[in-house]
Amino acid sequence: MRIKTRWNMKDKSRTIQETAGVLGFNLWKLCMQSLLDLENEGFQTDTQMQRLEVIQEMMAFLIHAADRIAYTRMDDEERAEFITALAKKAADYVQDNARDIAGPGDYRKPFIDLLNQRMDEYSEFGFFDFEPSFQMARYFGDRLAERLGPRQRQWVTTQVIDIEVPEYMRTMKRIVNSLLPEQTAA
């Protein structure tokens, strides 16, 4: 999967919103690819809305991971601005796609509500140097299993822990290391 890891004009400074927009786009692509991989492995999705619900769970997990990483690279004010911009970008993608599938309506608020709930839930788990704890990955897999159809549902948590989360973190590391340089210790 092709992702954007470099800016075209390297010397130009970027706003937090621009950085969040690029990360949001890459995370959305990562989620779509992950959904396709799950379907190719035999995990069941029956409708476009169900697929979008699966992607929303994935986005919630990845936004939380981005928040954990941003915690080590930004001050509190920058981090809040960054995660808010990232959440809004993801909500825009959800809104646009859900509107195309199901027609007019507010699809942003339910996504933001899900995101806020998952942010609270995931905060209970460890996350160290681009690696979510086993418990966090398992919790994510269980939430994803709730969104999928019954075919092979019992195996999705194993798939998430063994394959999807490590791939997410490898990709996230490439993106974040190029878009959010580490701050030096004072």
Report pLDDT digits (tens) over 74-98. 999 999 999 999 999 999 999 999 9
Task: With a cut of 50, list the residues of the chain below it in pLDDT.
Answer: 7, 183-186
Q: Rounded to an integer, what distance in angstroms lies between the CA atom of residue 5 and that of residue 179?
A: 7
Which runs of E-coded beta strand occur in the chain?
127-128, 131-132
Residue 11, domain member (yes or no): no
48 three-state secondary structure: helix
Task: Spell out a b/e string for 52-64, using b for 16 or more CB atoms within 10 Å of the CB, else e.
Answer: bbbbbbbbbbbbb
Q: Tokens at residue 184, please?
A: 């030096």
Residue 60, domain member (yes or no): yes
Question: Considering the entire predicted model, what is its pTM?
Answer: 0.90
The parent domain of residue 155 ranges over 16-178
Q: How many domains does the chain have?
A: 1
pLDDT tens readout for residues 57-73: 999 999 999 999 999 88
